Structure 1
Amino acid sequence: MDALILSRIQFAANISFHILFPTITIAMGWFLLFFRLRFLKTRDPAWEEAYYFWTKVFALSFALGVVSGIVMSFQFGTNWPGFMEKTGNISGPLLGYEVLTAFFLEASFLGIMLFGRGRVSERVHVAATFLVAFGTTMSAFWILSLNSWMQTPAGFEIVDGQFMPVDWFAVVFNPSFPYRLAHKLLASALTASFLIAGLCAWQLIKGSATPGTHKALRTAVIAASIAMPLQFLAGDMHGLNTLQHQPAKIAALEGIWHTEKSAPLTLFGFPDEAAGTTHYALKIPKLGSLILAHDANAEIKGLNEFPGAHPPVAPIFWAFRVMVGVGTLMLVVAWASAWLLWKRRRDTASGKPALPRPALYVLAAMTFSGWLATLSGWYVTEIGRQPFVVYGHLRTADVATTLPSPMIGVTLTAYLIVYGLLLVTYVGVLKYMAEHPFKHAPETAHGELGKAGV
């Protein structure tokens, strides 16, 4: 493999590992705030128990996200020096805003959120939890603003080969940003919901559940059942925006090889880019145009319109179907679980399980389903931008490093080994925490949290 391909694989490996953890913490911060507010309103210790258990999960996820994010940022200089050289006047400030308005906010108040009970007032403690949750959301705001600008660049001019901002409002709120931000925030809500529901289900299966487990499970299931249909709506709006601004990406992910009206929807098939066809395609007539353009007779541009300037077809064709398939499964599981919780609410009050055992196993199996959907969607977005790093203006090959391939291969191998070990360890720690939950009495929580090393 040449340096370009290896650099792309290395950056993909880094960002794939990194994105797993912000996808959890963005929404989990708001879950924690909800748990805390419910405790203050009801004084039910189960809510406080849920808060402190999931605070530990949040802290662990936050730490891995920060470390992997720092490593990833180094690669702008090592693997993609041309990117910062040409776009630094725009990407630099946006990344700086993320550090100043989000990361500092999270880092400043995380300590109060984790260790402040008994040292600060309840009002300050709640405020710290809110600011941490707000900080994670602001972090997503700025990062997605930059990523969206790379997908749908606006508000700039090119001077001597460098991108110069001329309208910062247009840069930040570029055409795809609102849709991408909504899609990502909902993805985080779903990822955190299924993580919480899955680990709570595992606690119920293993007999390690606490009163806080039941509160967290019900909250997560309800949140997932609301967020999933909203995600389909946001995805549809994002698709309309992508069709307008990145038609080559749409043509690739749907396997549309030639421009046609009333395009069919390909449910399944095997794209063959060399032959320009999809083998064994299972198609539904006109449904492609109806879904993509909300008009069954609409004309959809094919890959033939973008010679040498369209993304590789097979990776995003399959990634998109994985994302939609997992999302559909999440919707079914969330709604079924919500219905079972509603149906058995009286049984739960009398001491019976909130969900039947088979449903608990299904939720446990879906613990990390949000990760699978997120990564699939991210691959559609990022691979679908190729061969450009700034869509339509700057090709990826023009900003790649000139380092020899073996050097990149060595560091890539090292990253994969370390990230693999960290991921296995992270999952193992979550499993251990679920099976050995920290039980505390509210009046001694501060001291016990210190002993537990939270």
Structure 2
Amino acid sequence: MTLDPVVLSRIQFGLTVTFHIIFPAMSIGLATFLAVVEGLWLMTRDELYLRIYRFWLVIFALGFGVGVVSGIVLSFEFGTNFAGFARLAGPVIGPLIALEVLTAFFLEGGFLGIMLFGMGRVGPRLHFFATLMVVLGTTISASWILAANSWMHTPDGVVFDAATHQFQVVDRFRVIFNPSYLVRLPHMLLAAYITASFFVAGVGAYYLLRREHLDFARRTFSMGLGFASIAIALQLPLGDTVAFRMFDYQPAKFQAMEGYWDSTSSAPYLLFITPHQSEARNGIQLGIPFLGSILVTRSFDGVVPGLKNTPALNRPPMAPVFYAFRTMFLLGLLMFAVACLSVWLRLRGSLFSATWFQRVVQYMMPVGFIATIAGWYTSEIGRQPWVIYGYLRTADAVSPVPASNIAFSITLFALSYARFLAAFVGITARVIRKGPAVATGASPYGGSLKRVLMPPEQANRLAGFDGDPS
């Protein structure tokens, strides 16, 4: 069997992204959750919020660390696996990645230490400010990455310089705020909030079912489901907007998502297909009558476009795009249904007594992560065969590296990531089994920044310590 360097390079990058995206999604959501919890603690002085903050801070730190390590690898893979892309698009992508480092990484790095280790050393306002800055840093990081990725989907603000064989930026504003950016960024941020919310609620459900740490369990269960209900209600209409933005700028992706080869009126919403890519037809297809036309055209007899409208050389593979989108969409509907049930049970006063619902929420812990990965697959596989849509094909972007070398590195990556993931899951499970620590009644904050920056002699005098151990 002949190994294809293009396919192998895509598999390696896809493996790296699949592993990496788990942790930024969790970090963005948990950082925001922690900021809300600490703000509530400072407002109410209810020590339960302090226990919640300290518990989730540990899991946030674990995920943040793994996310940073796995994200660095992606930057190197642009050069090692996709040298053609790096050479042509370097003047566009390079500054965006550099801006992420100069803004988000420095902001996170500057305040993460205070957030993780400074509660007993600084005052409450500074510590809360540090938490807010970490939230801002994770959001800015996502913003720059989504700007770069969205430009690859809907390139704008550049011209191709034939003399240098590179893209040259003519309008940096249009590069950043390209046609898909302003809908894809909030879509990704909401996905992170939903992912973290169901994770938090799932841990609360775990404790409720075991009848452990009940005050902690009720509060986290309630807050997680409350945040999830708001975020998923915003996500569904926004996801519809993202889909129709693809319809305008990446019609082939939209056609593959719907699963039809020929344009079809009064189309069912397909749930299962067996596509034959080379023959441009489906062997078996099952769906819900008329729902496809209703969702796409808002009418019973509207026409759903087929993939044959796109030339064969420009068609993405239908099967992975179709099933990745169905996974994301159907899991989104499941999360929306669970959120609606939570509101109904909350209004009836039985949110904490319905054990069947708590069991459902416990099983929902990983659903947000799966939906996020599926959404990313839809976006990235649906862009094929292009790296820069309409400009640069993946086959022309791949580095001239022997296929055997790529296969070897894929094996090493897979083994390394499996160990990382197993370690993260194992440590996180141990933290959850151990449960939240009991908070003391006193304020956990150590003082003000002024005292931290004092010379040791002056700080000791204020503390009543004269330096003599006797």
SS at match of 2:213: coil
Q: Deviations over 1:173-208 (max 9, x none)?
A: 111111111111111011000111111211233344
1:319 aligns with 2:324: yes
Deviation at 1:56, TM superposition (A): 0.9
User: Residue 435 of structure 1 aligns with which residue?
Assistant: 433
Q: In structure 2, what residue type is equivalent to 1:17? A: F
Q: In structure 2, what residue type is equivalent to 1:165? A: V
**Correspondence 1:295-314 to 2 at 5 A:** 298-306=302-310, 307-314=312-319
User: Residue 192 of structure 1 aligns with which residue?
Assistant: 196
Deviation at 1:283, TM superposition (A): 3.8
Q: Which runs of 5+ in 1 are unaligned?
A: 346-352, 448-454
Q: Decide which moves more: 144-153 or 290-299.
A: 290-299
CA distance in structure 2 between the aligned counterparts of 1:174 and 1:431, rounded to whole angstroms: 41
SS at match of 1:384: helix
Query: Percent identity of the aligned residues?
Result: 42
**Correspondence 1:162-311 to 2 at 5 A:** 162-209=166-213, 211-284=215-288, 286-294=290-298, 298-306=302-310, 307-311=312-316
SS at match of 2:383: coil
CA contact (8 A) 2:123 2:445 kept: no
Q: In structure 2, what residue type is equivalent to 1:441? A: T
User: Residue 74 of structure 1 aligns with which residue?
Assistant: 76
CA contact (8 A) 1:272 1:279 kept: yes
Q: In structure 2, what residue type is equivalent to 1:406? A: S
CA distance in structure 1 between the aligned counterparts of 2:20 and 2:274, rounded to whole angstroms: 30
User: Residue 94 of structure 2 aligns with which residue?
Assistant: 92
Deviation at 1:305, TM superposition (A): 2.4
Q: How many residues align?
A: 440
1:400 aligns with 2:398: yes
SS at match of 2:271: strand
Q: In structure 2, what residue type is equivalent to 1:314? A: A
**TM-score of the two chains, using structure 2 as the length reference:** 0.89
CA contact (8 A) 2:198 2:228 kept: yes
Deviation at 1:264, TM superposition (A): 4.1
SS at match of 1:308: helix
CA contact (8 A) 1:389 1:395 kept: yes
User: Residue 417 of structure 1 aligns with which residue?
Assistant: 415
User: Residue 57 of structure 2 aligns with which residue?
Assistant: 55
In our comparison, the structure showing a higher alpha carbon Rg is 2
Deviation at 1:285, TM superposition (A): 5.2
CA contact (8 A) 2:151 2:178 kept: yes
User: Residue 460 of structure 2 aligns with which residue?
Assistant: none
Cα RMSD, aligned residues only: 1.9
CA distance in structure 2 between the aligned counterparts of 1:41 and 1:212, rounded to whole angstroms: 18
CA contact (8 A) 2:122 2:445 kept: no
Residues 355 and 114 (structure 1), Cα distance of their counterparts in 2 relative to 1, 3 Å cut: farther
1:34 aligns with 2:32: no
Deviation at 1:443, TM superposition (A): 2.7
CA distance in structure 2 between the aligned counterparts of 1:103 and 1:318, rounded to whole angstroms: 35
Q: Decide which moves more: 400-409 or 287-296.
A: 287-296
Deviation at 1:296, TM superposition (A): 5.0
CA distance in structure 2 between the aligned counterparts of 1:205 and 1:287, rounded to whole angstroms: 38
CA distance in structure 2 between the aligned counterparts of 1:264 and 1:164, rounded to whole angstroms: 45
User: Residue 137 of structure 1 aligns with which residue?
Assistant: 139
CA contact (8 A) 2:124 2:445 kept: no
Q: Deviations over 1:99-122 (max 9, x none)?
A: 111111111101111112132111
Q: In structure 1, what residue type is equivalent to 2:187? A: H
SS at match of 2:92: helix
SS at match of 1:266: strand
CA contact (8 A) 2:294 2:302 kept: yes
CA contact (8 A) 2:270 2:287 kept: yes
User: Residue 151 of structure 1 aligns with which residue?
Assistant: 153
Q: Decide which moves more: 45-54 or 355-364.
A: 355-364
**Aligned residue among 375, 378, 382 for 1:377:** 375
Deviation at 1:268, TM superposition (A): 2.5
CA distance in structure 2 between the aligned counterparts of 1:105 and 1:281, rounded to whole angstroms: 50
**Aligned residue among 5, 21, 36 for 1:3:** 5
Q: In structure 2, what residue type is equivalent to 1:34? A: V
SS at match of 1:238: helix
Residues 283 and 358 (structure 1), Cα distance of their counterparts in 2 relative to 1, 3 Å cut: closer
User: Residue 12 of structure 1 aligns with which residue?
Assistant: 14
User: Residue 357 of structure 2 aligns with which residue?
Assistant: 359
SS at match of 1:185: helix
CA contact (8 A) 2:47 2:439 kept: no
1:333 aligns with 2:333: no
CA contact (8 A) 2:183 2:242 kept: yes
Q: Which runs of 5+ in 2 are unaligned?
A: 447-470
Q: Decide which moves more: 72-81 or 199-208.
A: 199-208
CA distance in structure 1 between the aligned counterparts of 2:274 and 2:441, rounded to whole angstroms: 57
CA distance in structure 1 between the aligned counterparts of 2:120 and 2:269, rounded to whole angstroms: 59
CA distance in structure 2 between the aligned counterparts of 1:83 and 1:421, rounded to whole angstroms: 30
User: Residue 104 of structure 2 aligns with which residue?
Assistant: 102
Deviation at 1:354, TM superposition (A): 1.9
CA distance in structure 2 between the aligned counterparts of 1:300 and 1:169, rounded to whole angstroms: 34
CA distance in structure 2 between the aligned counterparts of 1:355 and 1:90, rounded to whole angstroms: 55
CA contact (8 A) 1:176 1:241 kept: yes
CA distance in structure 1 between the aligned counterparts of 2:15 and 2:353, rounded to whole angstroms: 37
CA distance in structure 2 between the aligned counterparts of 1:210 and 1:444, rounded to whole angstroms: 23
User: Residue 126 of structure 1 aligns with which residue?
Assistant: 128
**TM-score of the two chains, using structure 1 as the length reference:** 0.92
CA distance in structure 1 between the aligned counterparts of 2:288 and 2:256, rounded to whole angstroms: 17
Q: In structure 2, what residue type is equivalent to 1:379? A: Y
SS at match of 2:313: coil
